[in-house]
Amino acid sequence: MASDLEERVRAAFLDKLQMLKIPEREEDFLPSACCLLEKQRELAEVEQALLAQKEEFQLKMEELQQRRKELELKEGQLKKSILKFDKFLKDNDAKRSRALRKAGEEKQQAAQRVAEAERLKEEIAHLLAVKDKLQWQLERHKAFPEYLQKVLEKTEQFQGIPELIARFQALMATQATLAQRELVGREAVEEERARLQRYTEESSNQILQQNNRVAELQAQLEQAQTRVLELESSWVCIQNTAADKTLELGRIKLAALNLFQMVAKQRKLPADVPMEDTAAQLDVVKLCVMDLNDILANFRKGDPTPVPQPEPTPASRSETDPSQPPRPPGASLLSSPSNLLPALQPAGPRAGPSPLKFRIKKS
């Protein structure tokens, strides 16, 4: 509100300034004091105009405030009248709806009364028909009271017809109870019979399953026994093979020891090699054989005579003859120790003295 007032005052002030007529410049300028007074006078006029504008604006604002209050008062009165009219319309609508609802209820009640009257008429007709039927049955059953009276006259157990009828009803109730019990008993017997049938079938299935299981276990047992026999046979074969291999190894070690002892005896070498160290013994024999081969090679260089070829060993014969069974490695060496020399002989002559010869010379 204050900002609008300031903007309006500023606009009025600018309009006032534009309305002022600026005097034309003269050729000769006035003194500065006169100019200052002129400006002060103009400023006073502008301020007076501004104050007048403010007073006029203030009056207009007060008038507007008064008109706003009057409008608000009229608006409140109009709202009250509208509310009253709305309430009046609502009351009229409510009265109209109540009247319509009441009229509808009265119509529905009238229709219900008509339907009730029709139903009562039908019920009266039905009751009349039932009455006629009962009257006919009464006429038809007139002989039964006479019969019951005759029964009472013949039997002294009952005092009157109602007592006889009560006894008959008690007997009928007892018969119905017994029939119900019999029915329950029959159902229980049927249930037990069904349970017995199910139990018999389940037992038969279980026996069949157990028989199948026994057959499977029997087959597994036979397979296991067969497997055990196969494994035992394999174990016996392995033991026999191990015994043969052990015997063969013993023979090889014994042959190697004999060769080592012969070489050591001929070469007069110290027997410082353990008896269990077959590899060291064979190394000594190999060195001896290589030394002999070197000597033989040197001898052949001086006297080139043909060297007789060695006889074929059993191993070579088995290689040439496929009908002969293969012999284990080392069997030819064990059969004839002299065959060990060609097997240990190197491919060509070796230059220089042998380590064994050097070792003998040094000793």
Q: Provide CB contacts within 8 A for 150, sequence distance 6+.
A: none
Q: Provide CB contacts within 8 A for 294, sequence distance 6+.
A: 349, 350, 353, 354, 357
pLDDT of residue 31: 65
pLDDT of residue 265: 81
- Which pTM value belongs to this model? 0.28
* d(C-alpha 288, C-alpha 344), whole Å: 10
Q: Provide CB contacts within 8 A for 13, sequence distance 6+.
A: 46, 49, 50, 53
pLDDT of residue 160: 76
Q: Do residues 261 and 285 lie in contact, with contact meaning Cβ atoms separated by under 8 Å? A: no
Q: Do residues 360 and 292 lie in contact, with contact meaning Cβ atoms separated by under 8 Å? A: no
pLDDT tens digits for range 146-174 = 777 777 777 777 777 778 788 888 989 99
Rg of the chain over all Cα atoms, to the nearest angstrom? 74
**Which residue numbers in the chain have pLDDT < 70?**
1-6, 9, 12-31, 271, 303-363
Q: Do residues 314 and 296 lie in contact, with contact meaning Cβ atoms separated by under 8 Å? A: no
pLDDT of residue 140: 82
* d(C-alpha 312, C-alpha 320), whole Å: 10
pLDDT of residue 9: 65
- Chain-centroid distance of CA 290 in Å reads 78
Q: Provide CB contacts within 8 A for 271, sequence distance 6+.
A: 261, 264
* d(C-alpha 225, C-alpha 207), whole Å: 26
pLDDT of residue 303: 58
Q: Do residues 126 and 142 lie in contact, with contact meaning Cβ atoms separated by under 8 Å? A: no
